[in-house]
Amino acid sequence: MILGSCRPEVPEQEENTQPEVLEAGRQDFEIERDRKLLSEQFFTEHEMATIAVLADIIIP
């Protein structure tokens, strides 16, 4: 019990690849606009890797 209580049981979470579009209280054109914007990829893989390296340098 003592050794087991030091290790929290954290279930693995699935990675959310597609952000959810909230539809409550929104017009149809707003929902479509959001779906279009969320489907586009803003940064390339190389740019994301560069951002990750810069964040590792700057944040600590």
Predicted confidence (pLDDT) per residue in 12-25, tens digit:
776 666 666 677 88
Domain boundaries, the chain: 26-60
Contacts of residue 19, defined as CB under 8 A and 6 or more positions apart, other chains included, come to 38
- Residue-wise pLDDT for 4-60, tens only, equals 566 667 667 766 666 666 778 889 999 999 999 999 999 999 999 999 999 999 987
CA–CA separation, 27 and 38 (whole Å):
17
Torsion of Cα atoms, 50 then 56 then 58 then 60, to 10° = 180
